[in-house]
Amino acid sequence: MDTVRTSLAELTSTAAEDWHLVFKARYGMQQVFAALNAASEVRGVVTQSLTCATAVDPIMVAGQRPVYGDISEQSLALDPDRLPAPASWGAVVIQHTFGIVDAARSARLAAAARANSALVVEDSAHALGRMVRSADGTPLADVSIHSFGAEKSLPTKFGGAIWVNPEMADTAVREDITRRLESMRPPGSRLALAARTYRLQMAVLRRLPGGVGRATRRALTSAKLFEPPVAPSEQEGRLAHSDVGASPWVVGHMSEHLPGLAALEATRIAAVGVYAKVLSDLMPWSADVVGQPLIRMPLLTPDAVDTAAVVDALRDRGIYVGTWYRPALFPGVADPEAYCYDPNDPNLSVTRDVIERIVNLPTSVTEAEAERIARDTLDVLEVLRNAST
């Protein structure tokens, strides 16, 4: 555990003792919001609906209420010019969507939060080891959430790391967050086994025929022998588990893969550069993301083109195209109202537009592969445009 904490501290120029390791980042988030809930009568956490349901579940499980702000099309994170009424703020979540770290907007969000005595929670699930900092280099967040989970920066599948700012203004909340994180119990034997066998299970499930594979996956999940990235309960406003810290196996896996982060990031940075050059017309953020190791390269399809058709056509060409975050609260929730979310909220117009048009391309590819994918994307868009006229 100390090896991982020390590595994260070196990576972020922080202190190892301020890092806390958990089974999944969402369980660390739960403890952060539980401490906030215990300390204040304020029940609102400002966040965004262009996110995963598992980033909102911890807010609700802890007794808080998600309050959705609109996003900036440039950062795909909360727009500091379109925040909801500050009377409802207990915390503000700054999400580095796909790993896009927008320092200027993040600084304004942090300033707005602090002006209203709200906790600044940085969601770096897609930006492992990266933090927004002030002009003098100090981290802006009160709490920074980092993920080692499935389809994140590393191929670890499990694990999370929570950094608690030792300079947090509210010392009582800081001490309670730290106490809660350090008191988390390791996973039980069945959950620990599910984590250790996850790769083998996925390899087997992928080889089964579609219907059989889905039924087997559901049965294993129900029996708590398979740990999916998003459990059915986590589309219903709950968490699959609660208060689960990191097991020795998870910590060892984190320690094993952390040294490879820099090489993986270099690959992603190179791919992002290619996409930004070739597909700049589809990316309002392209100039800002060059040099950043995004875990996916998002693009917005033209208004006249069916986004689902773009995804299908690219997948037919063998390209691993992601659909994060379409629909909202990805991969979708059973009851939006239970999440305090109104899909037709007039204050979320940018979010709605992005959700309808977003497609994301793989970045763990070579520059030559990124070039081919980008050219295929342009070709598919041209074919679909011609077909619609």
The DSSP call for residue 73 is T
Domain harbouring 29, CATH code: 3.40.640.10
pTM: 0.96
Let me know whether 147 and 15 are in one domain: yes
Nearest to 52 by CA among 319, 301, 339: 339
Q: Which domain holds residue 130?
A: 2-182
pLDDT of 112 over the 70 cut: yes
Domain boundary among 209, 242, 275: 242
Digit-coded pLDDT (tens) for 204-258: 988 988 888 899 999 989 888 899 999 999 999 999 998 899 999 999 999 999 9
Domain boundary among 182, 216, 231: 182
Digit-coded pLDDT (tens) for 283-312: 988 778 999 999 999 999 998 899 999 999
Let me know whether 153 and 212 are in one domain: no
**Nearest-angstrom CA–CA distance, 74 and 63:** 32
What DSSP string runs through 85-141? Answer: -GGG-SEEEEE-GGG---HHHHHHHHHHHHHTT-EEEEEETTSTT---B-TTS-B--
Per the structure block, which two tokens stand in for 353?
Answer: 């537009």
Residue 1 banded pLDDT, cuts 50, 70, 90? low
Q: Is 215 among the domain residues?
A: yes
Q: Is 18 among the domain residues?
A: yes
Domain boundary among 242, 268, 285: 242
Let me know whether 48 and 155 are in one domain: yes
Nearest to 5 by CA among 160, 142, 217: 160
Q: Is 227 among the domain residues?
A: yes
Query: Average pLDDT, stretch 257-268?
Result: 97
Domain count, the chain: 3
**Nearest-angstrom CA–CA distance, 347 and 369:** 39
Let me know whether 161 and 200 are in one domain: no
Let me know whether 150 and 235 are in one domain: no
Let me know whether 206 and 284 are in one domain: no
**Nearest-angstrom CA–CA distance, 327 and 47:** 16
- SS3 category, 229: coil
Digit-coded pLDDT (tens) for 324-355: 999 999 999 999 999 999 999 999 999 999 99
Digit-coded pLDDT (tens) for 37-79: 999 887 899 999 999 999 999 999 999 999 999 999 999 999 9
pLDDT of 317 over the 90 cut: yes
